[in-house]
Amino acid sequence: SFSLGPLLTTGAVEALLTCASDELKAIYLEKMITGQWTGTMNLTEPQAGSDLALIRSRAEPQGDGSYRVFGQKIFITYGDHDMTENIVHLVLARLPDAPAGVKGISMFLVPKFLVNADGSLGARNDAHCVSIEHKLGIHASPTCVMAYGDNGGAVGYLLGEPNRGLEYMFIMMNEARLGVGLQGIALGERAYQQALAYARERKQGRDAITGEALVSIDRHPDIRRMLLLMKARVEAGRALTYYTSGLLDRVHATADPAERKRWLYLAEFMIPIVKGGGTEMGIDVTSLGIQIHGGMGFIEETGAAQHWRDSRITTIYEGTTGIQANDLLFRKLMRDGGATARVVFGEIQATAEALAASPRPELQTFARSLGSALKAWVAATEWLGASAQNGYSAVLTAAVPYLHLAVTVSGGWFMGKAALAAAAHLDAGEGDSAFYRRKIATACFYADQLLPQARAFSETVQAGDRAFAGVEDVLS
């Protein structure tokens, strides 16, 4: 819950660096970077959730270059609090002459307190939290209904050019989506640690293999299976997040435009995979944590349920799983004719070949599983490309299964890379040998238990919208 405040502030800083005037940067950036002031993103309205074309908030120009902002925003994370001196709201609103739809949205900086010329805080702005939501989880994060302009208009400042607000907001959105993907992974890790500790302490039943009486439940095969599922999926998700963060570092570090574009396209391809995959995994893994606790998992005092309650929002905010899937397909896969996807496929193939060349039999087996999963992903991708020529009905129904396919195979790719690195350290006699053996064992579990799901996801994708024929009658 607490981490959401810095997460959104970081995104707001990136947006200001990209599109704010030098004057606004001088006033706001330093104190946002130091954490003296926090930032928010204000998109959603009662009638405008995922469909931002329905935004009604408006901004009226004033003679001094500022604007008066009017409207209501909902679900605003850290919309109001007393932890910092000021809160900098980035608000989507329409200018009087704006075109209809998403092409008529601009972005405005609206501070909680106005800032004087010398940098000191001035009068309270007409931006107020009118209620705080009562939520399933993330209780320590204030989720606010914000009212702008109830008393004459909130003073705001245009960021960048008119009618490009959605474009600028996506700068924040990409940062937030990567961060929320990591949030799901982190909650999964915490749930795994707690479930593992409980399973080692809780004694129930006999060992099914040795017959030993009253053993800790981590000795029971199904408990071990669930613990390994938690561990393997968290490790795969963490590796994907690190890789994507590294791609973004390369985007900022390289001076060559062509190289920068390559890294940017790869990063943007991976972000919906990290966000969609990390958050769906977080829900699944925290649910397994409750299951391992048995009846005690359903008791709030245990703490296992909180991880699930906190994770449940992650597949909804900053773009639902369905939106991530559509983003992956339409904005990332098809925008360059699949060129970026083919780069990823080539990297996965290289990892499979390196695994196949290993003298270790378990890594050779991994190579076959990864190669088979990659073929399933390639087949689904080619089918989508061909189907899109005949309209988007089949493509749209296949979007989420395709995202799950991409997540599964990408996770296998990095578990394979981890296994290769661990094997190299073992062969060289370096480091913590027990850690490296566990890493290889976890990777092989992923290959045996999770990678085979890729074929099922691929078949689901290629079934298209066949199963949806006549669905109106079914749902009537």
- The pLDDT tens digits for 284-301 are 999 999 999 999 999 999
Query: Considering the chain, what percentage of its residues have pLDDT values greater than 70?
Result: 100
pLDDT digits (tens, 9 = 90+) for 190-234: 999 999 999 999 999 999 989 999 999 999 999 999 999 999 999
Q: Which residues pair with 128 in a beta bridge?
A: 147
CB-based burial, 87-114: b 16+ in 10 Å, e otherwise: bbbbbbbbbeebeeebebbbbbbbbbbb
Instruction: Measure the CA–CA gap between 330 and 384, rounded to whole angstroms.
Output: 11
Q: What is the pLDDT of residues 100-137, one digit of tens each?
A: 999 999 999 999 999 999 999 999 999 999 999 999 99
Instruction: Give Cα 19 distance to the centre of its chain.
Output: 24
For residue 469, pLDDT beyond 80 = no
| pLDDT tens profile 247-272 | 999 999 999 999 999 999 999 999 99
Measured torsion, CA atoms of residues 279, 1, 305, 217, in degrees rounded to the nearest 10: 80
Q: Determine the length of the chain.
A: 476
For every residue of 3-41, DSSP letters joined together read THHHHHHHHHHHHHHHH--HHHHHHHHHHHHTTSEEEEE
Distance CA 59, CA 471 (A): 43
pLDDT on residue 473 = 72
pLDDT at 25 over 90: yes
Whether 277 contacts 181, CB under 8 Å? yes
pLDDT digit string, tens, across residues 438-461: 999 999 999 999 999 999 999 999
The C-alpha atoms of residue 178 and residue 333 are separated, in whole angstroms, by: 18
Which pLDDT tens digit goes with each residue over 44-63?
Answer: 999 999 899 999 999 999 99
Residue 468 confidence (pLDDT): 82
> What pLDDT, on a 0 to 100 scale, did the predictor assign at position 175?
84
Q: What share of the chain is helix, strand, coil (3-state, %, to 5)?
A: 60, 15, 25
Digit-coded pLDDT (tens) for 311-363: 999 999 999 999 999 999 999 999 899 999 999 999 999 999 999 999 999 99
The span from the CA of 339 to the CA of 22, in Å, is 37
Query: What is the pLDDT, as a whole number, of residue 424?
Result: 98
Nearest to 115 by CA among 106, 124, 107: 124
CATH of domain 4-163: 2.40.110.20
Which residue blocks in 69-121 are alpha helix, DSSP H? none
Q: Is the pLDDT of residue 429 over 80?
A: yes
pLDDT of amino acid 160 = 97
Clarify whether 459 is annotated catalytic: no
Residue 278 has pLDDT above 80, yes or no: yes
Return the structure tokens found at 131: 């209620």
The residue from 45, 189, 268, 318 that is catalytic is 318
Fold of 168-319: Butyryl-CoA Dehydrogenase, subunit A; domain 3 (1.20.140)
Q: Which residue has the tokens 């960048």?
A: 160
In three-state secondary structure terms, 146 is: strand
Neighbour-count burial of 253, counting CB atoms closer than 10 A to its CB (0-12 exposed, 13-18 middle, 19+ buried): exposed
pLDDT band at 474 (very low <50, low <70, confident <90, very high): confident
- The H or E element that residue 149 is part of is none
**Stated pTM of the model:** 0.94
